[in-house]
Structure 1
């Protein structure tokens, strides 16, 4: 019974992780309609950013941001702050919020410009990170946003870097635990339990690879791509564990138990002869 509950716990946390991250990504993608937004940073249109042409963010530098908003609704549009943020797996790793005061009348367009100092960016993130420039209204609800691919020139010892290193350490520990279990013949005789033993490390491989690709500036894996890749590696690891041969029975233990049984038989007290009756 304890082995079954242990196996359930092994599969439960990766599944919950995928569900939570998928839900977070879906929430982040929800955007209101009725407002058009255009923006440029240092004179470059951020709508055209890509892996080959990312928005370069240098720690402790100053960037110039210009935003134009068109209100296509029937109500006045109030803008209270603008956020430049970077997200990975639905988690925010850098964010810069600037308070503004702008009101856009129905059917009108207005623009605003400001300077943003990227203080502390080196300790927040590094590598290619997907982000967005978003404007918020008086109720702190997002009004409009533009996705942007950023090239953050931060440190590997930043929050994002330590996040990836922690994923790598946990993945290595998971495989080390499985390797010791194989060497000591401790794997379960049931196929599905052997598959679960490799499921979590397989999930870690997908997450770590996507992190390496981001830090090495190969590509920008969005949340859906992270989850898809991690799901594939987790499934492959599970199938490898499921198809692996079961542990061999310990013949020495069987022989010893047989000898002990025979010894116990020899130690039984001999039956005393009955006295002769007259």
Structure 2
């Protein structure tokens, strides 16, 4: 049971580390984009702002694409997406081909129906508006933080609750093993035993801050929080006392005396 819990928590942590592209890859993708993008939702610019999205209402998305190159650029579709913990929790593509002339700009307005977003995400999520070409490559994007007014029982909310349950079970199994003197004699192995519980604690903290609309789960926040919680849990396991039970004092030993046989005499 403990191994299953540890595997579940470790899987969530691997998604965070391996799913997030490195900074160099992100900067390279931004440099390859040939269009500058300015976007607004319900006539409010999204750059450097937190944009509220209510799935019960339609969203008016306005995009201004600027081409600073010497050749026209053809746009096939526009994508609105939200990402957390390196996982895409919602993405809406609108196919509306248009061409941006060289040294020119084009403005387009779209009305999006995000009704099913209620069951996909809730809380603060890093989001982006992307312009895509015919090969689904990104021509340009504008990033923001979306305040999704979804349900706690959405995919994102249920994911957080599942991580909470796994984390509690990981701590319970580790502490029970400590109380029953069943941890490994080696300090490093004891630290590794507590490591999944630390990973889970960090993931739960990141998701909770997002759902409570306090801090969005951006890589600059989530990775230090998860690694810090994991390091603390490992240190706690490393510093736990040796699992061998205390030696019994000589004065506490019980000496069993032999009982002499009794014989019954008959007259």
Normalising to structure 1: TM-score of the pair? Answer: 0.80
Determine helix, strand or coil for the equivalent of 1:212: helix
**Preserved contact between residue 78 and residue 101 of structure 1 (Cα < 8 Å):** yes
CA shift for structure 1 position 225: 1.6
How has the CA–CA distance of structure 1 residues 11 and 145 changed in structure 2, closer, same or farther, with 3 Å as cutoff? closer
Q: Which residue of 1 aligns with 2:219?
A: 223
Residue of 167, 178, 182 corresponding to 1:171: 167
Q: Which residue of 2 aligns with 1:271?
A: none
Matched, 1:212 2:208: yes
**Preserved contact between residue 9 and residue 166 of structure 2 (Cα < 8 Å):** no
CA shift for structure 1 position 224: 3.2
Q: Which residue of 2 aligns with 1:268?
A: none
CA shift for structure 1 position 215: 0.6
Determine helix, strand or coil for the equivalent of 2:47: helix
Q: Which residue of 2 aligns with 1:46?
A: 46
Matched, 1:151 2:147: yes
Q: Which residue of 2 aligns with 1:270?
A: none
Q: Which residue of 1 aligns with 2:3?
A: none
CA shift for structure 1 position 107: 1.4
Q: Which residue of 2 aligns with 1:98?
A: 94
Q: Which residue of 2 aligns with 1:55?
A: 51
How has the CA–CA distance of structure 1 residues 232 and 213 changed in structure 2, closer, same or farther, with 3 Å as cutoff? same
In 1: Cα distance, 2:64 partner to 2:113 partner: 20
Residue of 20, 23, 40 corresponding to 2:21: 23
Cα RMSD after superposing both structures? 2.6
In 2: Cα distance, 1:89 partner to 1:193 partner: 28
Gaps of 5+ in 1: 1-8, 253-258, 260-278
For residues 59-89 of structure 1, the C-alpha deviation after alignment (integer angstroms, 9 at most, x for no partner) is: 1311111111111123221111111111001
Q: Which residue of 1 aligns with 2:252?
A: none
CA shift for structure 1 position 13: 5.8
Which one is further off, 33-42 or 191-200? 33-42
Determine helix, strand or coil for the equivalent of 1:87: strand
Name the count of aligned residue pairs.
Answer: 244
Matched, 1:84 2:80: yes
CA shift for structure 1 position 15: 7.2
In 1: Cα distance, 2:8 partner to 2:124 partner: 32
How has the CA–CA distance of structure 1 residues 163 and 18 changed in structure 2, closer, same or farther, with 3 Å as cutoff? closer
In 2: Cα distance, 1:13 partner to 1:110 partner: 44
Normalising to structure 2: TM-score of the pair? Answer: 0.83
**Preserved contact between residue 21 and residue 223 of structure 1 (Cα < 8 Å):** no
Matched, 1:124 2:120: yes
How has the CA–CA distance of structure 1 residues 73 and 170 changed in structure 2, closer, same or farther, with 3 Å as cutoff? same
In 2: Cα distance, 1:199 partner to 1:172 partner: 13
Q: Tell which structure's C-alpha radius of gyration is larger.
A: 1
**Preserved contact between residue 39 and residue 47 of structure 1 (Cα < 8 Å):** yes
**Preserved contact between residue 24 and residue 90 of structure 1 (Cα < 8 Å):** no
Moved over 6 A (4+): 9-12
Q: Which residue of 2 aligns with 1:35?
A: 35
CA shift for structure 1 position 108: 1.4
CA shift for structure 1 position 164: 0.5
